[in-house]
Amino acid sequence: MKITIKRADSPDLEELLRWREIVLREVFSIPMEENMDALIAANRQYYLSALERREHIACFAQTEERTVGCGGVCLYQEMPSPDNLTGRCAYLMNVYTIPAMRRRGIRKVVVEWLLQEAKRCGAGKIYLEASESAYPLYKEIGFCEMDGYLKYMKEDAPLSGGV
């Protein structure tokens, strides 16, 4: 089976949003009957802005018959550091393959294409969050776990200690 990667851009907005909804419903276990209009509208604004500014690269994985997966990479700037002199970073996201086509190497083709594009854009650091089932593939490609990272989760706490 031959997999080709098609870069997605602004003209593909509706298809990007359709795939984004599929990914969000699966990853966050959102039932089909739950309305996602506000979330999809926010994603629409994100894509319109980020694609135009070249801060997001999206793609579709295709067979000869149909689209079977997708992926994206967010590009952003942080302060330069010894391990990333340019400060250019990439965050892989939205990597997805339809259930009937999983375990055929599609995710690997998508991730390798996205990595190539991120590097071409100058990204010196590339991150992702992975499901447990995807860890072996990402480690095989060259990703490693990072110690020392925390995620802020407390929504009702003030961000400053003073008044």
Residues 88-109 have pLDDT tens digits of 999 999 999 999 999 999 999 9
Residue 65: pLDDT over 90: no
The secondary structure of 74-98, three-state, reads: EEEECCCECCECCCEEEEEEEEEEC
CATH label of the domain that carries residue 54: 3.40.630.30
- Is residue 134 in a domain? yes
- Is residue 41 in a domain? yes
- Give the mean pLDDT of 33-50: 97
- Is residue 87 in a domain? yes
- Domain range for 82 is 4-141
Structure tokens at 93: 């996201």
The pLDDT value given to residue 153: 86
Domain count, the chain: 1
Residues 106-139 have pLDDT tens digits of 999 999 999 999 999 999 999 999 888 888 999 9
The secondary structure of 28-44, three-state, reads: CCCCCCCCCHHHHHHHH
Helix (H) or strand (E) holding 162: none
